A = this chain, B = another copy of it.
Amino acid sequence: MTINIIIADDHQLFIDGIKSILYKAIDITTIGEANNGLEVLKLLEDGITPDVILTDIRMPIIDGIQLTKTISKTYPNLKVLALSMFDQTADVIEMLNAGAKGYVTKNVDKSELIEALHTLVKGNYYISKNLPFDIQDWFEKKLGHAQESNLTKRETEILQLIAKGRTSIQIAKHLKLSKYTIDTHRKNIHKKLGIKSNTGLVNFALNNL
């Protein structure tokens, strides 16, 4: 299956560089490019449906962090792969907290970039190996929490029922709880996973539970 991407960077030269790197990768297609976050959102509103957004962090008008937050909310299944210079540790952490699923440095080589894209599309996280250690450590800690123990037993139970197509009311009856309680659990699951839609939850559940 072809991976469709949008590249966002305020330096056109850099976009062109990435495009030429990816040009020969037969299963990756650049279906859009943008020089700031706002342009990315416009493309999405126009109905372009990429699988991954490859974005710089520092951009004018809407930066990569705000862009990633908006995407996490509005297009929960769309993955964001962050690009950054070495010296921006804090920004990268902010990006990942905003919901980015991966991070590579700008001097990434071709094979690593392609690997990162494939990894993200499969639903996994990708973090460059040649990174400042503090980022790696922080991320491993985050993953450790986010992937396994983040959801409680009850939340996992409810997520599985959601993935099977049960409504909040049906789940409430099944567990002999209030509908409001189920909705609260739902919201906590949303928060913990950074996924804010029913379809996104089904995707997550089928891939991870």
The listed residue (B163, B176, B199) touching A162 by CB distance below 8 A is B199
Q: In whole angstroms, what is the CA distance A75 to B171 when docked?
A: 12
Chain B residues in 8 Å Cβ range of A170? 47, 129-130
A49 contacts B199, C-beta separation under 8 Å: no
Q: How many residues of A contact B (CB 8 A)?
A: 34
Of A52-60, A92-100, A186-194, A200-208, the stretch lying at the interface with chain B is A200-208
A45 contacts B173, C-beta separation under 8 Å: yes
Is A3 an interface position by the 8 A CB rule?
no
Is A166 an interface position by the 8 A CB rule?
yes
Q: Identify the 4 closest CB pairs spanning chains A and B, nearest first.
A: A47-B174, A165-B199, A202-B202, A77-B165
A residues in contact (CB < 8 Å) with B: 45-49, 75-78, 129-130, 133, 136-137, 161-167, 170-171, 173-176, 197-200, 202-203, 206
